[in-house]
Amino acid sequence: MTSRERVLAAIAHKEPDRVPVDMGATPSSGISAIAYSNLVKYLGRDDLPVQIYDVVQQLAQPDMSIIDRFGIDVLDIGRTFNTQPSDWHETVLANGDKAFYPVWFNPVLQPNGSYHCYDTDGKRLLAMMPKGATFFDQSYFPYVDGYPENYNGLDEEMGRVLWSRYVHSPWDHAADPGFWEQLRKNTLHLRETTDKALMIVCGCNLFEWGTFLRRMDNFLMDLLCEPDQVARVLDQLLERHLATLEKVCEAVGDIVDIIRFGDDLGMTTGPFMDPDTYKMLFKPRHKQLCDYVKSHSQMHTFIHSCGSISSLMPDLIDAGIEIFNPVQTNAVNMEPEFLKKEFGQDCTFWGGGVETVGTLNNGTPEQVREQVLQRLEIMSAGGGFIFNTVHNILPDVPPANIVAMFEAVKEFNGK
C-alpha cells in the first residue's frame, strides 16, 4: 500500500497494511520549534533549518527527510509555500537555538524580554509572547464590549485577530494575486511527486471564532444570555467559511484527501458547554460545513477539538465529522478503550497514540514504547486510527522519546 492508500483505508475502516502515522500535517498534530530543534540535533541533522511555519503556536515544519525517516504518511499542502530561503528570516528560540520566521512576521522585542505584535498603525497591540513562553497570546478582542450593530466591519476585525493576521501557510499567501491557481498548481505538483495523503488545514472555527471576537468568558456567557446574538454572529462566520470552502473545493477538492476544521469544545472534565447548547447553536452549522465539503469534493472531514468531548461526539458524527483529533485520552470519559468501543465504528481517531502529559515528556523511552504498543493494540483494530501524539509535541519532550515512539510504531507494524 502507498501512504495515501493506507490513510484512506484507515478512514474507510479497512485495516491497512500498517497503521498510518502523522507528525506535522496539522497545527495540532505537529511539533514545537524547540522540540524539533532538539530532535534534529539529536539525529545529527542540525544542518536542517528550524522553520516556524505556525508562528502563533511556534510550530516547526518538519523537513521531508525527517518525514521519510519516521515513515509519516500524510502532508500538509501548506508546505508547498515559503519554500525558498528568502521566504524566511532568522530568529532565536527561547532555548537560544537559531530558527526562522516567515519574512512577514516581525514581532518587536520589549525591554522585559517579551515580544509584541502591533497593528499597522503601530499602536494597537494584537498579540504578545511573554519572556520564556512558547506561544503568542491574543491581546485584541474586537467585540469584547459587545456585539456590533452590523457586521460591515467583521472582515477587518477578524484580520486583527492573531489567528488570522499571523496565520500559517498556505493562508499567509491568500491575498496574493493568483493564490487559488497557485494553490492548485502546488497541490497537483505535490500529488505527482509524493504518494502520501494530502491535508488542507482550513479552520472554519465557529465556537472558537466567537471566543476570539468576544473573549472566552463573555462568549461562554453569551451562549446562555444572548443566544440570538450568538446565532447572528455564527451566521456571519458561516457565510464566510462557506465562501472559503467554495474556493477550496474548487481549487483542490479533487486532489486533497482530508480537510481539517478546528473548534476546541472540551476541557479536561467535560465539554465547555451543555450538549443541548451545542446541538442548538453549533451542530446545524457544523453540518452545513460538512455537507458542503461532501457534496463538492472528495475530501474527508476532520475536526480538532481538545478535551473531553465524548458527550458531544454523537452529534458531531451526526453533523458529518469523520475524523477526530487530538483524542485527548487523559481527559474524563476519553479512555482509549471506551472511545474505540463506543465510537470506533463511526469515526476515525487521529491522535491519542501516546500521552504528551506524563509519558512522552517525562517517561523513559521504554515507557514510551510500552504505551505506544498498548495504544496501537487498542486503537488500530479494524482501521479507523491514524497514529499521532495527543496534541503537539511541546518543548519538554526529549528527542530520545520521539525516536522511541516512532520505533515502537515500526515494531508494531512489523509484527
Partner 1 sequence: MNDLIDKLGECVEFGKINQASPYPPTMKGMPGADELTKEALEAGFSPQMILNEALIPAMNRVGNKFTEGKIFVPQMLLSAKAMNSAMKHLKPYFQNGEIRRKGVFIIGTVQGDLHDIGKNLTGMMVEGAGWEVIDLGTDVSAEKYIQALDEHPGAVCGMSALLTTTMSNMQPMIAAIREKHPGTKVIVGGAPLNAEFARQIGADAYGRDPQDDINWLDSIVA
**Contacting ligand B12 (CB under 6 A), which of 65, 120, 268, 298?**
268
The cell for 140 is 485584541
Q: Whole-number minimum distance, CB 132 to partner 1, in Å?
A: 5
**Contacting partner 1 (CB under 8 A), which of 82, 186, 187, 356?**
356
Size of the site for ligand B12 (CB under 6 A): 19
The answer to whether 286 and 319 have CB atoms below 8 angstroms apart is: yes
Q: Whole-number minimum distance, CB 22 to ligand B12, in Å?
A: 15
The cell for 98 is 537559531
Residues 161, 202: Cα–Cα separation, whole Å: 16
**What is the phi/psi pair of residue 43, to 5°?**
-85, 5
396 counts as binding partner 1 under rule CB under 8 A = yes
**Contacting ligand B12 (CB under 6 A), which of 1, 9, 133, 400?**
133
Q: Considering only residues 90 through 149, tell me which ones interact with partner 1, judged by CB under 8 A.
A: 130, 132-135, 137
Query: Residue 201, SS3?
Result: strand
Q: Any bridge partners for residue 59, and if so which?
A: 32, 54
Q: Whole-number minimum distance, CB 413 to partner 1, in Å?
A: 28
**What is the phi/psi pair of residue 299, to 5°?**
-75, 145
Q: Whole-number minimum distance, CB 47 to ligand B12, in Å?
A: 25
Angle subtended at Cα 322 by Cα 388 and Cα 411, rounded to the nearest 5 degrees:
30
Q: Whole-number minimum distance, CB 138 to partner 1, in Å?
A: 9
What does 223 bind: partner 1, ligand B12, none (CB cut-off 5 to 8 Å by kind)?
partner 1
Residues 65, 275: Cα–Cα separation, whole Å: 44
Residues 164, 202: Cα–Cα separation, whole Å: 11
**Contacting ligand B12 (CB under 6 A), which of 3, 80, 205, 392?**
392
Q: Whole-number minimum distance, CB 247 to partner 1, in Å?
A: 33
Residues 2, 73: Cα–Cα separation, whole Å: 8
207 counts as binding partner 1 under rule CB under 8 A = no
**Contacting partner 1 (CB under 8 A), which of 87, 97, 254, 274?**
274
Question: Could you tell me whether strands 125-129 and 137-138 are parallel, antiparallel, or unpaired per DSSP bridges?
Answer: antiparallel
Query: DSSP character for 273?
Result: S
Q: Considering only residues 209 through 238, tell me which ones interact with ligand B12, judged by CB under 6 A.
A: 216
Instruction: Report which of 138, 112, 114 is spatially closest to residue 125, judged by C-alpha positions.
Output: 138
Question: Could you tell me whether strands 323-325 and 348-350 are parallel, antiparallel, or unpaired per DSSP bridges?
Answer: parallel
Nearer to partner 1, 29 or 308 (CB): 308
127 counts as binding ligand B12 under rule CB under 6 A = no
57 counts as binding ligand B12 under rule CB under 6 A = yes
The cell for 360 is 512522552
The cell for 126 is 494584537
Question: Could you tell me whether strands 98-102 and 88-92 are parallel, antiparallel, or unpaired per DSSP bridges?
Answer: antiparallel
Amino acid at 87: D
DSSP 89-109: EEEE-TTS-EEEEETT--PEE
User: Which range touches ligand B12 (CB under 6 A), out of 247-255, 283-291, 324-332, 375-383?
Assistant: 324-332
**Contacting partner 1 (CB under 8 A), which of 30, 62, 78, 270?**
270
Size of the site for partner 1 (CB under 8 A): 31
Q: Whole-number minimum distance, CB 212 to partner 1, in Å?
A: 14
Nearer to ligand B12, 138 or 186 (CB): 138
The cell for 362 is 517525562
Instruction: Report which of 21, 58, 64 is spatially closest to residue 37, judged by C-alpha positions.
Output: 58
For cell 491581546, the residue is: 139
235 counts as binding partner 1 under rule CB under 8 A = no
**Contacting partner 1 (CB under 8 A), which of 259, 394, 402, 404?**
394
User: Which range touches ligand B12 (CB under 6 A), out of 45-53, 100-108, 240-248, 261-269?
Assistant: 261-269
- Contact set with partner 1 (CB under 8 A): 130, 132-135, 137, 216-217, 220-221, 223-226, 267-274, 277, 356-358, 361-362, 394-396
- Contact set with ligand B12 (CB under 6 A): 57-58, 133, 135, 216, 264, 267-268, 306-307, 326, 328, 331, 356-357, 390-392, 394
